[in-house]
């Protein structure tokens, strides 16, 4: 029995706010309520997300910019539909490009898909625009442009009054290569706003590609999901359906790991009518028994790639066993990497909804060739060289001119005395060219020709190393196939691994076991550039074979 007092108290209680799952068509926008704490607005004109409210607080936009494909699409055909009782899908068509925005009932996520069919539309990324003042930034954050800083390269690399360089290309030690992160985002202790990376199956660059991920200044900030980016890029662009990338909110915690591309089950997407989607059950897998000739202390990664898709997985450190799941059926080039160096290449065919077993493969490692001396390690990176001594490798998150870096032009290298970090990881024509390596040979070694190998991981404007030994000069090599844009100055050494070989005749050597032989490494190019934008290379390893 309800008393009058109780009824009166009930009627006067504060109104409760119940979330209203569904969508409305309001003032040229589709307003979508997740039925939880997230409400978004999508423009019916161009498919921009022009409002993102979490717990009633607006997070979207700065400087008139919205959250959208690339820098925003033009006038598009935008429609909305409900699937079943718990999914709302917005479809955006702009020319040959199709973009989908999906919300599921009861969660605080937005699922994003983009199908770029061809080159007629310039779209290589999705950008989440965040209002300024919500998340804090330290003055040393590499992607935070300080007030009063000035640009030193293009309009995207700046330096502040403390001599610290900043760029949207620089991501610090937290984020690095695509394989290193599941998500990017911000957290202020009360709210976490994240962009969870898709599996990048239709993206380009492979597991070790580096590109801009975040950018911030006092007015606002961005989160990026890069599908194809020409800065430092050597991989061809792939077309087709990208996604889902997931814009996800939390109440201060990290994202749900079930949303990570390596863990997710996207079966529920099968019935949404997304153009280009391969049903989850139709995907196959490959599993490898192991990798022979693995070297201790290195991570081995197995990659699958063709013109249609790319995938990767890390091999077990014990025996090299590996597996890659949820692969679109097809024939793939299989590549085994020792860190980032290709040490095996083969072929794998994966059928619809089926698995394939791969027998043990054997890695071909340059370190198996006996060397008189070796500077660095054959691993496809400049790790260990000057300014790359640490695992975070500073030039990946600061400009080469940054005052926190050591001089790129150290004293000349003496084999047997100088440590690896006494040799520069990068070399440019205008900065530290003509570096000399001093070494001695035994009498037996003096009587033979010897091969010098120089491994590079990237080259800027056709830079490539050549050598001279005492008075002898090698035939200059041709340009290697590398990125056609900036690379070394925007935080990446990742191009195409190339091993250049020079045979030095015995007649080039000083016929003395006590005298030092002098080898000069010289970067050449037929292109024009100055300073840190002159012809340059990133080193992997340098050695002299027995």
pLDDT at residue 18 is higher than 60: no
14: which 2 tokens? Answer: 């504060």
User: Rounded to an integer, what distance in angstroms lies between the CA atom of residue 387 and that of residue 394?
Assistant: 6
Does this chain's domain 22-271 share its CATH topology with 280-364? no
Per-residue pLDDT tens digits for 111-167: 999 999 999 998 899 999 999 999 999 888 999 999 889 999 999 999 999 999 999
pLDDT tens digit string along 482-503?
Answer: 999 999 999 999 999 999 999 9
Most distant CA atoms of the chain, gap in Å = 112
- 265's tokens: 């089950």
pLDDT above 70 for 437? yes
Q: Which two tokens stand for residue 427?
A: 């070399």
- DSSP collapsed to 3 states, 486-538: CCHHHCCCCCCCEEEEEEECHHHCCCCCCCCEEEEEEEECCCCCCHHHCCEEE
Q: 124-148 burial string, b = 16+ CB within 10 Å, else e?
A: bbbbbbbbeebbebeeebbbbbbee
Pick from 303, 283, 212, 198: nearest CA to 244: 198
Containing 80, the helix (H) or strand (E) segment is strand 77-83
Identify the pLDDT of residue 11.
34
H/E stretch holding 107: none
User: What single DSSP character describes residue 5?
Assistant: H
Could you tell me which of 15, 65, 22 has the C-alpha nearest to residue 43? 65
Determine which helix (DSSP H) or strand (DSSP E) holds 445, and give its type and residue range.
helix 443-446
Q: Which fold has domain 280-364?
A: Immunoglobulin-like (2.60.40)
CA distance 399 to 489: 6
pLDDT interval class at 233 (50, 70, 90): confident
172 confidence band (pLDDT: 50, 70, 90): confident
Residue 392 confidence (pLDDT)? 84
pLDDT tier, 229 (very low <50, low <70, confident <90, very high otherwise): confident
CA dihedral 411, 416, 417, 419 (to 10 degrees): 70
Q: What is the pLDDT of residue 56?
A: 97
Residue among 222, 198, 175, 149 nearest 492 (CA): 175
Per DSSP bridges, beta strands 291-292 and 361-362 are parallel
pLDDT band at 6 (very low <50, low <70, confident <90, very high): very low
Q: How do residues 250-301 score in pLDDT, each as one tens digit? A: 999 999 999 999 999 999 999 999 999 999 999 999 999 999 999 999 999 9
Cα separation, 120 vs 97, in Å, equals 9
Tokens read off for 489 = 């100055």
Tokens 């060397």 correspond to 371
Architecture of the domain whose range is 367-545: Sandwich (2.60)
Structure tokens at 360: 């043990």
- The Cβ of residue 327 has, within 10 Å, a number of other Cβ atoms equal to 23
Domain boundaries, the chain: 22-271, 280-364, 367-545
3-state SS, residue 420: helix
Chain centre distance of CA 30: 33
Q: Is the pLDDT of residue 308 over 70?
A: yes
Quick check: 179 and 207 in contact, CB under 8 A? yes
Q: Give residue for tokens 């009518």.
A: 273
Task: Determine which of 25-34, 170-179, 205-214 has the lowest per-residue pLDDT on average.
Answer: 170-179
Per-residue pLDDT, 232 = 81
C-alpha distances out from residue 95 to 74, 226, 239, 277, Å = 9, 21, 15, 19
Distance in angstroms (rounded) separating the CA atoms of residues 490 and 483: 12
- pLDDT band at residue 518 using 50, 70 and 90 as cut-offs: very high
233 vs 196: CA distance, rounded Å: 22
Mean of per-residue pLDDT scores for the chain: 94
| Dihedral (Cα; 493, 499, 505, 511), 10-degree rounding | 50
- What CATH number has the domain spanning 22-271? 2.70.98.10
Measured CA to CA, the distance from residue 140 to residue 315 in angstroms comes to: 35
* pLDDT tens-digit map of 33-69: 999 999 999 999 999 999 999 999 999 999 999 999 9
pLDDT computed for residue 19 by the predictor: 61
Asked if residue 423 lies in contact with residue 413, where contact means CB atoms within 8 angstroms, the answer is: yes
pLDDT at 83 > cutoff 70: yes
Find residue 437's DSSP bridge partners.
413, 519
pLDDT tier for residue 356 given thresholds of 50, 70 and 90 = very high
321 has a pLDDT exceeding 70: yes
Contacts of 133 (CB under 8 A, 6+ apart): none
* Confidence bin at 230 (pLDDT 50/70/90): confident
CA distance 431 to 426: 10
């Amino acid at each position: 029995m309800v008393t009058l007092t109780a009824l009166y108290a009930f009627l006067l209680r504060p109104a409760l706010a119940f979330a209203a799952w569904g969508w409305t068509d309001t003032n040229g926008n589709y307003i979508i309520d997740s039925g939880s704490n997230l409400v978004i607005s999508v423009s019916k004109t161009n498919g921009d997300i022009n409002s993102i409210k979490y717990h009633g607080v607006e997070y979207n936009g700065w400087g008139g910019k919205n959250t959208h494909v690339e820098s925003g699409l033009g006038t598009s055909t935008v429609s909305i539909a409900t699937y079943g009782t718990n999914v709302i899908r917005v479809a955006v068509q702009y020319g040959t490009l199709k973009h989908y925005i999906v919300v599921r009932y009861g969660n605080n996520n937005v699922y994003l898909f983009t199908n770029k069919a061809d080159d007629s539309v310039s779209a290589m990324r999705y950008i989440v625009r965040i209002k300024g003042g919500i998340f804090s930034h330290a003055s040393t954050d590499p992607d935070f442009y300080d007030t009063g800083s000035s640009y030193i390269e293009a309009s995207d690399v700046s330096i502040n009054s403390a001599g610290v360089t900043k760029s949207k290309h620089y991501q610090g030690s937290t984020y690095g290569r695509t394989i290193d992160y599941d998500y990017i985002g911000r957290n202020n202790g009360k709210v976490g706003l994240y962009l969870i990376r898709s599996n990048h199956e239709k993206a380009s660059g492979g597991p070790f590609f580096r590109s801009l991920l975040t950018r911030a200044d006092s007015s606002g900030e961005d989160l990026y999901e890069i599908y194809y980016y020409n800065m430092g890029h050597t991989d061809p662009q792939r077309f087709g359906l990208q996604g889902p990338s997931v814009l996800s909110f939390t109440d201060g915690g990290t994202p749900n790991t079930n949303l990570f591309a390596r863990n997710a089950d996207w079966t529920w997407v099968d019935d949404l009518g997304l153009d280009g989607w391969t049903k989850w059950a139709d995907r196959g897998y490959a599993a490898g028994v192991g990798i022979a000739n693995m070297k201790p202390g290195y991570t081995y990664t197995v990659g699958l790639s063709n013109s249609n898709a790319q995938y990767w997985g890390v091999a077990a450190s014990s025996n090299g066993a590996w597996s890659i799941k949820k692969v679109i059926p097809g024939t793939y080039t299989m590549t085994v990497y020792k860190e980032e160096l290709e040490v095996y290449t083969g072929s794998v065919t994966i059928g619809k909804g089926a698995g394939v077993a791969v027998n043990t493969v054997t890695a071909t490692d340059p370190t198996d060739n006996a060397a008189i001396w070796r500077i660095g390690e054959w691993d496809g990176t400049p790790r260990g060289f000057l300014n790359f001594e640490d695992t975070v490798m500073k030039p990946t998150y600061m400009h080469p001119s940054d005052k926190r870096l050591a001089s790129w032009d150290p004293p000349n290298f003496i084999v047997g005395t100088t440590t690896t970090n006494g040799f520069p990881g990068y070399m440019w024509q205008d900065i530290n060219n003509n570096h000399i390596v001093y070494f001695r040979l035994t009498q037996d070694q003096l009587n033979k020709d010897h091969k010098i190998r120089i491994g590079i991981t990237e080259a800027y404007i056709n830079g490539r190393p050549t050598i001279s030994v005492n008075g002898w000069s090698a035939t200059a090599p041709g340009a290697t196939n590398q990125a056609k844009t900036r690379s070394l100055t925007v935080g990446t050494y990742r191009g195409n691994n190339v091993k250049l070989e020079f045979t030095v005749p015995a007649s080039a050597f000083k016929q003395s076991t006590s005298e030092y032989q002098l080898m000069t490494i010289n970067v050449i190019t037929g292109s024009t550039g100055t300073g840190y934008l002159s012809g340059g290379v990133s080193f992997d390893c340098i050695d002299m074979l027995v």
